[in-house]
Amino acid sequence: MKDCLFCKIAKGEIPAKILHQDDRIVAFDDINPQALYHKIIIPRKHIATVNDLHAEDADLVGQMVLSAANLAKELNIAEPGYRLVMNCNPGGGQTVYHIHIHLLGGRQMAWPPG
């Protein structure tokens, strides 16, 4: 997608602090962290929202979750724990329309979220 911010980060056209990348997944620091650790995990494939996922994307989403869990281990926050979030559409608080997982940790997460 030409004008997608996260596609541009995945292609290296916009700088970001990249933590992990492979042929399908990229992980980087969130620019406006909401916790001590706030990382973003995206697929290289442009998918606008969770509503746009199809059955053939199931493996890709699984890889995103596994990447998030591996990152949490590398950051030493697997214990005590962390939160994974996917926002969908304005009602879910989504602002960048390329699916992503937020990995949040390093502080106690409240439930329910605000």
Could you list the residues that contact ligand 5GP (CB under 6 A)? 5, 16, 28-32, 40, 87, 93-96
Q: Could you say whether residue 7 binds Zn ion (CB under 5 A)?
A: yes
CB nearer to ligand 5GP: give 28 or 82. Answer: 28
Least gap, CB of 94 to ligand 5GP (angstroms): 4
- Interacting residues of 15 by C-beta distance below 8 A, sequence separation 6+: 9
Q: Is the peptide bond before 80 cis (omega within 30 degrees of 0)?
A: yes
Q: Tell me how far, at minimum, the Cβ of 99 lies from Zn ion, in Å.
A: 9
In whole angstroms, what is the distance from residue 108 CA to residue 81 CA? 9
The residues facing 82 across adjacent strands are 105
Contact letters (x/-) for Zn ion, 32-71, by CB under 5 A?
A: --------------x-------------------------
Among residues 13, 14, 42, 46, which one has the least CA distance to residue 28?
42
100 annotated active-site = yes
- Which residues are marked as active site? 100
